[in-house]
A = this chain, B = another copy of it.
């Protein structure tokens, strides 16, 4: 008597074998795990700024992205600006969406769950009395961020919720937002 089983293998486009290999390799080579991420920027006019992301350091060497990525930021017209790009705070939300969603795909791959669609909506409250210096008790940044995922996948609602929970647990940007980071700023006159 033979038993036939059909094993479907999820393909979300994430190379989990390589990631697990990296985990193995970096466990015994902690120096290689030290990355340095970079951006540079040049002020354009008014509140309009243009940033470039070109390369980074990691695995003991310098790396170039496949291309230079450029991003414009600006303030909107209701702040008497020209709205030539997303606002800087919206870019932070873009980073959070990208980090959590990549994590969902990686975790789903590792758990052999086929994803069909992963959509996120993000909203962050901010009381402008902070940045305008009206009330010193109001913080400059967000008073909180809400993220909602709608996921279509071959999995139960519980399994889908667990994907997002695991992604949060391992997300760099989620950690950057929920915990404090030291920012050291220096200036020189040209």
- Name A's B-contacting residues (CB within 8 A): 12-15, 18-19, 22-23, 26-27, 30, 33-43, 45-49, 51, 53, 56, 58-59, 63, 65-66, 69, 71, 73-81, 83, 85-102, 104-106, 115, 117-134, 139-153, 155-157, 160-161, 164, 168, 170-190
Contacts and interface: CB of A to CB of B under 8 A. Distances in A.
A65 B59 contact: no
B187 A51 contact: no
- Interface of A, helix, strand, loop or mixed by DSSP: mixed
A143 to B, nearest CB: 8
24 contacts: A13-B45, A23-B134, A26-B128, A37-B89, A39-B94, A39-B97, A40-B120, A41-B101, A43-B118, A51-B98, A53-B93, A56-B87, A63-B77, A73-B94, A88-B98, A89-B173, A92-B176, A141-B172, A142-B172, A147-B184, A149-B187, A150-B188, A177-B180, A178-B183
